[in-house]
């Protein structure tokens, strides 16, 4: 992987967290500095940093900053916890930090460990999952489940990366992913950055391309996976899974075990609803008539019967076998 594309950097000498500002991509590669936990809260809420694993790592560093700055740890924990309600890695990372605090460990050391582990987990996902990719495959992906959504490599894009690294001739189709266009802005940027062939498509083009035999496999990431393998991911994932089932196209989810939620039930999960302005505006230009409101669900749920396999850092899980 190109080492220049590091979405999360801890600056040890200045004791600050440095993030690629994903709101500016693909036109500008600039960085956002977090000097306290409130900066991290803002970065997560405003999607400077996004993607379940990356949010978890950033939150861990947020708690470390709170400790380093002598801030109210309980307040920091509660504020970080409520930044994004659906991505389970956020809660997983915060619980690991609290456990470290209770055992007297340095929170910065624990945050660094979470960061390093995430890089290794994503690498393993790619190594395990790339066996599913055949030479000359065209792979459709949704949103951004790449290095920008993690500490490195990504989840879905790690599988694609390692297929490319191993010499397989592949092509990628990236859904634009309305309303925030993470596929068009981030996934296309990442893959192009590493010279992996990619084409952007409108979200509503996917079904047509499947019907014409132009899609061989679909790989997406996940923000939360329940013990019964219901998968919560970026809005639009469920629609793709239904289309894939109809057209008999393998539909894979790639995620580390830290994305699994073994405690919650389906009815317990809160689906984040974001500002309707993300739907009614593009780049601050209103595209919907004045007076018309919008729904803006950030995630949807894909049931296990629509999922071919879940690629983790340990194994490939087949929910229907």
| Catalytic member of 118, 175, 203, 223 | 223
Cβ atoms within 10 A of the Cβ of 202, count? Answer: 11
Does 234 appear as a known binding residue?
A: yes
Pairing relation of β-strands 171-175 and 198-201?
Answer: parallel
Does 52 appear as a known binding residue?
A: yes
Does 217 appear as a known binding residue?
A: no
Does 289 appear as a known binding residue?
A: no
Tokens at residue 104, please? Answer: 């007297």
Q: Which residues pair with 32 in a beta bridge?
A: 19
From start to end of the chain, where are the E strands?
8-11, 16-20, 31-34, 138-141, 171-175, 198-201, 217-220, 224-226, 231-234, 251-254, 260-261, 281-282, 285-286, 299-302, 309-311, 316-317
- State whether the Cα torsion 131-147-217-223 is positive or negative: positive
Does 233 appear as a known binding residue?
A: yes
C-alpha distance across the termini of the chain, in Å: 34
**Annotated catalytic, 261?**
no
Q: CA 158, CA 253: separation in Å to the nearest integer?
A: 12
* 200 half-sphere exposure, CB direction, 13 A CA radius: 17
Write down the H helix ranges in 166-285: 182, 188-193, 206-211, 237-246, 277-280
SS3 assignment, position 262:
coil
How many whole angstroms from its chain centre is CA 298?
A: 12
Q: CA 133, CA 293: separation in Å to the nearest integer?
A: 42
Query: How many helices (DSSP H) and strands (DSSP E) are in the chain?
Result: 11, 16
Binding-site residues sit at 50-52, 84, 182, 233-234
List, as residue ranges, the binding site for substrate. 50-52, 84, 182, 233-234
Give catalytic residue positions.
Answer: 223
């Amino acid at each position: 992987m190109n080492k220049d594309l590091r979405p999360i950097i801890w600056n040890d000498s200045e004791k600050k967290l440095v993030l690629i500002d994903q709101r500016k991509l693909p036109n500008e590669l600039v960085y956002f500095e977090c000097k306290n936990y409130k900066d991290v809260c803002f970065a997560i809420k405003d999607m400077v940093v996004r993607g379940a694993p990356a949010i978890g790592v950033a939150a861990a560093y947020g708690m470390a900053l709170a400790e380093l700055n002598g801030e109210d740890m309980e307040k920091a924990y509660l504020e970080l916890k409520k930044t994004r309600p659906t991505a389970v890695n956020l809660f997983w990372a915060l619980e690991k930090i609290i456990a470290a605090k209770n055992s007297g460990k340095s929170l910065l050391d624990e945050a660094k460990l979470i960061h390093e582990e995430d890089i290794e987990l994503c690498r393993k996902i790619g190594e395990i999952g790339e066996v599913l990719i055949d030479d000359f495959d065209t792979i459709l992906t949704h949103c951004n489940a790449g290095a920008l959504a993690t500490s490195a490599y990504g989840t879905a894009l790690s599988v694609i990366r390692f297929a490319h690294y191993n010499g397989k001739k592949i092509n990628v189709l990236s859904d634009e992913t309305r309303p925030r266009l993470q596929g068009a802005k981030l996934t296309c940027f990442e893959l192009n950055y590493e010279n992996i062939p990619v084409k952007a498509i409108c979200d509503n083009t996917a079904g047509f391309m499947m019907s014409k035999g132009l899609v061989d496999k679909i790989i997406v990431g996940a923000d939360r996976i329940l013990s019964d393998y219901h998968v919560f991911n970026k809005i639009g994932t469920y629609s793709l899974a239904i289309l894939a089932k109809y057209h008999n196209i393998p539909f894979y989810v790639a995620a580390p075990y830290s994305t699994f939620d073994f405690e919650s039930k389906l009815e317990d999960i809160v689906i984040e609803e974001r500002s309707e302005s993300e739907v009614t505006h593009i780049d601050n230009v209103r595209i919907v008539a004045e007076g018309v409101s919008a729904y803006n669900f950030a995630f949807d749920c894909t049931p296990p019967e629509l999922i071919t396999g879940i690629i983790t850092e340990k194994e490939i899980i087949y929910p229907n076998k």
